[in-house]
Chains A and B, each alone.
Chain A
Amino acid sequence: MIEVANIYKRYHGLHGGDWVLKDVSFSIPPATSVGVLGRNGAGKSTLLRMLAGMDSPDKGTIQRNCRVSWPIGLGGGFQSNMTGRQNVKFVARVNGGESDMERIIAFVQDFAEIGRAFDQPLATYSSGMKSRLAFGLSLAFEFDVYLSDEATSVGDAAFRDKATEAFRSRMGKSSIVMVSHSTGILQDLCQAGLWLHQGKAYWFDALDDAITAYHKSIGK
């Protein structure tokens, strides 16, 4: 269960702008996967980062009564001069998986299927390889809620099938909060939808309604 109550968020400083999120409230029931929709700059990533505890709202509260993953995305979480293996080891240690290292490494290697690149520095990875590694790595840990910020968008069809399969097998135990512009994968994985529009968030119990609302807003 994640409870978001009346949060406001804006970016301060020289280039700070208007409110990104303004009086947003919603709650995500346990084991419900949510697709987050909204146009570029609507605050989807900001919201996800706040759910992950990497950023805090200017006003309002976010309660997480469950284990939430880090935001699985293209940018963050990996040190580019370290190899895939070193990155995996680092994350395993930080999450207290030292004693379980072999299983975690085996799992990630198996899920990511990037072969020998696993021992190459991250700087040499393509974005698809990075997202495979990032997804595999987060799935090696048991979270109640996984946060995914466009991590699936660069994957190929085989990878999408794999990610879908992994979440299907965890249905009921874990859920995912997913930001994506490709409605296909959202429909595969999510039941509910959250549409961010002009600083507000609209909750839909059915994802399809959210997609319709989103499409209407962008005139499609």
Chain B
Amino acid sequence: MTIEVNRSSWQVTLDVWRAMFLREIVSRISADRLGWVWLLIEPVLHIVLFVAIRQLMGRVRFIPGAEFVPWFVVGMMGFFLFRQAITRSMGAINGNKALFAYRQVQPLDAVLVRCFIEGLLKTLVLLLIVGGATVLEYHILPHDLLGVILIWGFIWLLGTSIGIVLSVLNTVMPETEKVVGLIMLPLYFLSGVMVPIQFLPHALHPYLLLNPITHGIESLRHQFFEHYQTIAGIDLMYMGQWTLCCFFLGLLLHLRYRIRLIAK
């Protein structure tokens, strides 16, 4: 038999990630009849709906330094990337429980692979939507492409890190999912995705800036639109600190609750 018996730990992990990736992507895309089409339909419907609501309300607000639709699309995609990494992480451990029978497969692998796939899919969707919007003659092509890639990656890292923490919490306390689901909607409005944060009362800004995803979304917009004016106090370092803290807290929790996570 030619199976390599003595693989290094890294080699084992890479093999597991590869296997998990193939498994997850198949089930993610062939899960139901709509499959991967839904990946694109969902954000497009979301955009259409919210742009329509805004038109009906007749409140055509001026966004300093950007058109509304591109501004909204960029913020929404950033938020979706963040949200999806979190919600998919929370189901990752229960969804793969059967596979922890194999010693090589750790709960963290399931979470990381899912987040990676979500990042990949959302990136594809972003490319398609930016492409589509450009064809429809919106000014949405990024002013600083490298900056966009960097910040997009940062937002993904933030979502993944929080996802790692919540994946453990949700498995140990299943109520977590409900609470997070409840928080996500207000978070959507408080992160400046739909309602420009510039127009919220100035006195609220210090509190709104406690929310790390706001920093990511506003920075992302700044990389897209050269003359975009955001509020003072947007700081990527702050988001970075959240990411690092959550990442290590998450790893800690995964170590602490390892047996609880793999046990039935």
Q: Are B99 and A52 in contact (CB under 8 A)?
A: no
Q: Are A142 and B1 in contact (CB under 8 A)?
A: yes
Is B256 at the interface (CB under 8 A from chain A)? no
In the assembly, what is the distance between CA of A89 and CA of B99, in Å? Answer: 13
In the assembly, what is the distance between CA of A90 and CA of B105, in Å? Answer: 11
Q: Are B263 and A54 in contact (CB under 8 A)?
A: yes
Q: Are B19 and A90 in contact (CB under 8 A)?
A: yes
With contacts A96-B11, A99-B2 taken as known, whether A54 is within 8 angstroms of B100 at the C-beta atoms is: yes
Is A97 at the interface (CB under 8 A from chain B)? yes
Is A98 at the interface (CB under 8 A from chain B)? yes
In the assembly, what is the distance between CA of A77 and CA of B259, in Å? Answer: 16
Q: Are B101 and A76 in contact (CB under 8 A)?
A: yes
Which one of B20-28, B56-64, B177-185, B204-212 is at the A interface?
Answer: B20-28
Chain A 66-105 interface 0/1 with B at a Cβ cutoff of 8 Å (1 = within): 0100110001111111100010011101111111100100
With contacts A81-B27, A82-B27, A142-B1 taken as known, whether A53 is within 8 angstroms of B11 at the C-beta atoms is: no
Chain B 1-19 interface 0/1 with A at a Cβ cutoff of 8 Å (1 = within): 1111101000110011011
Q: Are B102 and A91 in contact (CB under 8 A)?
A: yes
Q: Are B101 and A100 in contact (CB under 8 A)?
A: no
In the assembly, what is the distance between CA of A141 and CA of B2, in Å? Answer: 10
Q: Are A54 and B26 in contact (CB under 8 A)?
A: no
Q: Which residues of B contact A205 (CB under 8 A)?
A: none
Least CB distance, A68 to chain B, in whole angstroms: 8
Is A55 at the interface (CB under 8 A from chain B)? yes
Is B103 at the interface (CB under 8 A from chain A)? yes
A contact patch SS: loop
Q: Name the residue on B nearest A71 (C-beta).
A: B101
Is B104 at the interface (CB under 8 A from chain A)? yes
Least CB distance, A72 to chain B, in whole angstroms: 9
Q: Name the residue on B nearest A91 (C-beta).
A: B102
Q: Are B5 and A67 in contact (CB under 8 A)?
A: yes
Is B149 at the interface (CB under 8 A from chain A)? no
In the assembly, what is the distance between CA of A220 and CA of B71, in Å? Answer: 78
Is A56 at the interface (CB under 8 A from chain B)? yes
Is B41 at the interface (CB under 8 A from chain A)? no
In the assembly, what is the distance between CA of A76 and CA of B101, in Å? Answer: 6
Q: Are A97 and B3 in contact (CB under 8 A)?
A: yes
Q: Which residues of A contact B128 (CB under 8 A)?
A: none
Least CB distance, A147 to chain B, in whole angstroms: 10
Least CB distance, B262 to chain A, in whole angstroms: 6
Q: Are B23 and A141 in contact (CB under 8 A)?
A: no
* B3 partner, pick from A52, A70, A81, A142, beta carbons under 8 A: A142
Q: Are B23 and A95 in contact (CB under 8 A)?
A: no
- Can you list 10 residue pairs at the A/B interface with Cβ under 8 Å? A52-B101, A77-B101, A79-B27, A79-B96, A82-B26, A86-B26, A95-B3, A95-B104, A96-B12, A141-B3
Q: Nearest 9 CB-CB pairs, A to B?
A: A93-B19, A76-B101, A77-B101, A70-B101, A97-B3, A94-B19, A53-B103, A94-B104, A96-B4
